[in-house]
Amino acid sequence: MENMRIKSLEEYHQRYAESIEDPERFWASIADSFLWKKKWDRVLQWDFNRFDVKWFDGAQLNITENCLDRHLAERGDKTAIIWEPNNPNMQSRHLSYRQLHAEVCRTANMLKQAGVKKGDRVCVYMPMVPEAAIALMACARIGAIHSVVFAGFSAQSLADRINDARCKVVLTADGVYRGAKPIILKDIVDEALLKCQDVERVFVLRHTESAVRWNETTDRWWHEEIRECSELCPAEPMDAEDMLFILYTSGSTGKPKGVVHTTAGYMVWAAYTFQNVFQPEENDVYWCTADLGWITGHSYILYGPLLSGCTTLMFEGIPTWPDAGRFWNVVDRHKVSIFYTAPTAIRSLMAFGEEYPAKASLASLRTLGSVGEPINEEAWQWYHHHVGKGRCAIVDTWWQTETGGIMISPLAHLTPTKPTFATLPMPGVQPVLVDANGQVMEETIAEGNLCIRFPWPGMLRTTYGDHERCKQTYFSTYPGLYFTGDGCRRDHDAYYRINGRVDDVINVSGHRMGTAEVENAINEHPHVIESAVVGYPHPIKGQGIYAYIICDNSTSSEESKRKEILEVVSKVIGPIAKPDKIQFVDGLPKTRSGKIMRRILRKIAEGDTDSLGDTSTLLDPSVVDRIKDGSI
Ligand code: WTA
């Protein structure tokens, strides 16, 4: 894979230019270094109006052969995965590439025995343990499509995702740790499955040793089923555009979308971006603190690093347990050289003070990454000085579930960085900024909505079961362009700085959340008549959730309603969606056509009540004053 590595800033500019002038030639030469069962007929075919994109069409491959088999000769005994458990007094686990290969094959055979075939969907709802990573590759080995659901989602959310993808099998565990206490994951699966008709089999990994209920028809213990499974499993030949996985993400409408990624393009993109952004070396230990339940986990815990033959660390725990020094202890213990986390984690650790990173050596670190939300200057500086000790490169990587991998980012130690700027596009990425009239702004210094005007290999191909919605969401706002939903600024160096979402999506602790989704959840409370949710700046979470709620005139106290509403949201979506602030109101600012003017609610939530702008189009402008008076 040496030929894909950019080694200087000059080379970056050269390679970038090539990727624009002749994309097909550029990507063919990158793709050449992978293992193919059959090479492609065409590198790229595309049409952004119908939204039809094909990369490496006609080729056949299996991504797990590229993650595992191809490394066995040279790196068979090299550690592929280090697992650091939640409990710091427990032993960590090391799996070599050879062991991982064997486990993936055994698990693939276990799935096969349960009747899983190419094209079937498998839901993975698991803690951060190596078996979760193994599960994804086991699916890919036999051509099944994995759909991972973050283990913090509720039974209702899990059921919705299982049903939307019509999953046949669920992989889960008895429990998951959150800090000191175990949560019974299996109970949540049981509750979800009451609403799911298609699930034939549930494999349960024994992890927390918690007592679980058992359904004799569907449930099987993972360790029992896998016992007799062979360590050999031929890799299913997959077409380049066969689906690799579905991952649900929130948009501005109420229902999460199943973003679909396909095999070849995603593979090339995950590996190419990983290698160039992080510039890993053979003996590095690389650690991304995300959960496998998010795209960052898919691309940069699992696929990117393993495709590159790296050692990737999986961490089961949280940054603040047993104390706020946990990350830094793990870095020292495993000599981590590349560390990738989210601004919200940095801000939460900042609040505990610099003595925690000061107590650790952190001498093994060379590169620090940031992802998931805009990083503020203060957090950037703290990361740089107290974690990087002033000598590490910081890569602020902008991308999305839909983009499959990193789109705009410095290349570690090559691109000069500027705090809060994601800097320059990856080769192959053609960003444009669009003004309020939909015009592309050609001048260098500009600020507008961020779009991409040309396909890149890792882009989504559709949203599961609903291509029309996909076209509508991403390609209709600005015809001919992929719209990211983000606002962005480009400065005199042509560096990009992402300002955040411009649609009704908020980013809470790096988690993407549709305001409509949260509203729908709140509205399930029997005494709620209507609600409106907006984001507001939150010192640690980036954005907090502010809910304006109209209730009926039931006699229960505000305090008890508040408590019940939080419970309802937890139950419908999960604890991550609980509003930080709830204001009970008697009306919402609506236009004559009945549309809620969120702009006003956002301003009030931000505490900026002096510049509410024009309220004359409101049906009842007096409602604004009453909301202002009651604001929190
Ligand atoms: C935001 C996570 C600023 C952005 C990989 C995007 C960022 C959304 C950055 C995607 C960054 C992600 N700087 N904002 N470096 N990275 N975002 O799908 O608003 O969970 O649209 O993918 O996160 O979130 P998602």
Does 324 sit in the ligand 1 pocket, CB within 6 Å? Answer: no
Last residue of a domain, one of 456, 488, 520: 488
Is the C-beta atom of 431 inside 6 A of ligand 1?
no
Answer yes or no: is pLDDT of 582 > 90: yes
Residue 502 lies in a domain: no
Cα-Cα end-to-end distance for the chain: 55
pLDDT at 555 over 90: no
Q: Ligand 1 atom closest to Cα of 512?
A: 20
Q: Does the Cβ of 239 fall within 6 Å of ligand 1?
A: no
Q: Same structural domain for residues 517 and 462?
A: no
Asked if pLDDT for residue 1 goes beyond 80, the answer is no
* CA 331 to centroid of ligand 1, rounded, Å: 25
Q: Is there an atom of ligand 1 within 6 Å of 399 CB?
A: yes
Residue with tokens 């028809």: 217
Q: How close is the Cα of 616 to the center of ligand 1, in Å?
A: 35
Q: Residue 442: which residues within 8 A CB-CB, separation 6 or more?
A: none
Q: Is 397 in the pocket of ligand 1 (CB under 6 A)?
A: yes
CB atoms within 10 A of CB 622: 11
Q: Is residue 475 part of a domain?
A: yes
User: If DSSP codes are grouped into helix, strand and coil, which group holds residue 346?
Assistant: helix
Residue type, 66: N
- Assess whether 516 and 481 both reside in one domain: no
* Whether residue 442 is found in the same domain as residue 570: no
| pLDDT value at 234 more than 80 | yes
Domain that holds residue 580: 509-630
- Whether 58 lines ligand 1, by a CB cut-off of 6 Å, is no
pLDDT-derived band at 262 (thresholds 50, 70, 90) equals very high
Per the domain annotation, does 343 fall within a domain?
Answer: no
Is there an atom of ligand 1 within 6 Å of 291 CB?
no
Q: 475-506 as b/e, with b when 16 or more CB fall inside 10 Å?
A: bebbeebbbbbbbbbbeeeebbbbebbebbbb
- pLDDT band per the 50, 70, 90 thresholds, residue 522: very high
The pLDDT, as a whole number, for residue 301 is 98
Taking the centre of ligand 1 as the mean of its atom positions, its distance from the CA of residue 80, in whole angstroms, is 27
Beta strands in 495-541 (DSSP E): 496-501, 505-508, 511-514, 528-538
Same domain? 139 vs 42 = yes
Together in a domain, 401 and 528: no
pTM of the model: 0.97
Ligand 1 site, residue 507, Cβ cutoff 6 A: yes
| Domain-embedded: residue 62 | yes
Index of the ligand 1 atom closest to the CA of residue 422: 15
Among the candidates 435, 459, 488, a domain finishes at 488
Let me know if residue 357 belongs to a domain.
Answer: no
- Mean per-residue pLDDT for 443-462? 98
- pLDDT of residue 611 exceeding 90, the answer is no
Shared domain check, 517 and 465: no
Residue 584's pLDDT band (cuts 50, 70, 90): very high
Q: What are all long-range contacts of 196-199, with beta carbons under 8 Å and residues at least 24 apart? A: 196/159, 196/162, 196/163, 196/167, 197/163, 198/162, 198/163, 198/166, 198/167, 198/168, 199/123, 199/162, 199/167, 199/168, 199/169, 199/170
**Residue 401: CB within 6 Å of ligand 1?**
yes
Q: Which residue has a Cα nearest atom 6 of ligand 1?
A: 400
The domain total for the chain is: 2
pLDDT tens, position by position, 335-369:
999 999 999 999 999 999 999 999 999 999 999 99
Mean pLDDT of the residues in the chain: 96
Q: Is 227 left (phi over 0), alpha (psi -120 to 50) or beta?
A: alpha
Name the β-bridge partners of 123. 147, 170
Torsion of CA 35, 40, 44, 45, to 10 degrees: -140
Where is the domain boundary, 488, 523, 541? Answer: 488
Joined together, the tokens standing for residue 434 give 């669009």
Cβ atoms of 41 and 54 closer than 8 Å: no
| Cβ of 56 below 6 Å from ligand 1 | no
Candidates 542, 565, 521; CA nearest to 154 is 521
> Quick one: which atom of ligand 1 is closest to the CA of 408?
15
* Ligand 1 atom at minimum distance from 511 CA: 20
Q: Is the CB of 405 under 6 A from ligand 1?
A: no
Q: Which of 62-66, 259-263, 611-615 has the lowest mean pLDDT?
A: 611-615
Which region, left, alpha or beta, applies to residue 289 given φ > 0 means left and ψ of -120 to 50 means alpha?
Answer: alpha
**Stretch 269-297: mean pLDDT:** 98
Q: Is residue 363 part of a domain?
A: no
384 lines ligand 1 (CB under 6 A): no
User: pLDDT band at 188, cuts 50/70/90?
Assistant: very high
Write the CATH number for 558.
3.30.300.30
Q: Structure tokens of 518?
A: 């949260």
What CATH number is associated with residue 194? Answer: 3.40.50.12780
Query: Which is it for strands 511-514 and 505-508: parallel, antiparallel or unpaired?
Result: antiparallel
Residue 398 CA to ligand 1 centre (angstroms)? 6
The amino acid at residue 72 is L
> How remote is the CA of residue 381 from the centroid of ligand 1, in Å?
20
Count CB neighbours of 20 within 10 A: 14
Cα of 157 to ligand 1 centre, how many Å?
22
How many Å apart are CA 123 and CA 135, to the nearest integer? 10
| 565 in the same domain as 422 | no
Could you tell me if residue 401 is inside a domain?
yes
Q: Stretch 504-514: mean pLDDT, rounded?
A: 94
Q: Which two tokens stand for residue 491?
A: 């400065």
Residues 191 and 337: their CA atoms lie apart, in Å, by: 42
Q: Based on the domain organization, do 480 and 514 belong to the same domain? A: no
Same-domain check for residues 462 and 603: no
Sheet holding 93-96, edge to edge: 93-96, 79-84, 311-315, 285-288, 338-341, 367-371, 393-397
Beta strand 243-249 pairing with 145-148:
parallel
In angstroms, what is the span from residue 304 Cα to ligand 1's centroid?
Answer: 18
Instruction: State the pLDDT confidence band at 537, using cuts at 50, 70 and 90.
Output: very high
Task: Grade residue 311 by pLDDT with cuts at 50, 70 and 90.
Answer: very high
pLDDT in tens, 190-231: 999 999 999 999 999 999 999 999 999 999 999 999 999 999
355: in domain: no
Please enumerate in sequence order all residues whose Cβ is within 8 A of that of 602, keeping only pairs 6 or more positions apart, or say none. Answer: 534, 535, 536
Q: Verify that 447 and 541 share a domain, yes or no.
A: no
Element (H, E) at 21: helix 9-21
- Residues 125, 131 contacting (CB under 8 angstroms): no
Residues 412 and 531 in one domain: no
Q: In this structure, are strands 201-205 and 169-173 parallel, antiparallel, or unpaired?
A: parallel
One-letter amino acid of 38: K
Tokens of 32: 């050449």
Amino acid identity at 32: D
Residues 530, 520: contact at Cβ < 8 Å? Answer: no
Do 76 and 140 sit in the same domain of this protein? yes
Q: Is the distance from the beta carbon of residue 64 to the nearest atom of ligand 1 less than 6 Å?
A: no
Q: Is 480 left (phi over 0), alpha (psi -120 to 50) or beta?
A: left
Whether the bond into 322 is cis, omega within 30 of 0: yes
Q: Which residue has the tokens 């799911």?
A: 196
DSSP string, 131-155: HHHHHHHHHHHHTPEEEE--TTS-H
